[in-house]
Amino acid sequence: MYGIDGLPEEPDDLSMWLDVAADHNPLVAAIRAALDVHASVDAVQYAGSRQIPRRVCTGCGTDAGNWQVWPCPTVRAITTALKARPAAEEADR
């Protein structure tokens, strides 16, 4: 399904669209590269004896030195501009 701007609405479809478009347009290649830097990865936060699963950004951290929860501000800015949802690796949908 495509949105009113012609971009795919589903995160996986948008990711494939960006891959193909990046071969033909350097601006799309730059967006694709930025999203690759800010990919998601599953992590575990240790809070005392508890282990809390978290999805964090591979390219960001917080000022306190912790992982940045994904989607990070960079991914949110890009996906908001594209009017798309972030596409996480193995995202729960």
Of 38 and 55, nearer to Zn ion (C-beta) is 38
Of 8 and 67, nearer to Zn ion (C-beta) is 67
Angstrom distance (rounded) from CA 71 to CA 27: 21
| Contacts with Zn ion, 28-67, as mask; x by CB under 5 A | ----------x------------------x-xx-------
88 belongs to the binding site for Zn ion (CB under 5 A): no
Torsion angles phi and psi, residue 39, rounded to 5 = -70, 165
3-class SS at 50? Answer: strand
Please state at what angle helix 73-81 crosses helix 26-37, rounded to 10 degrees: 150
72 belongs to the binding site for Zn ion (CB under 5 A): yes
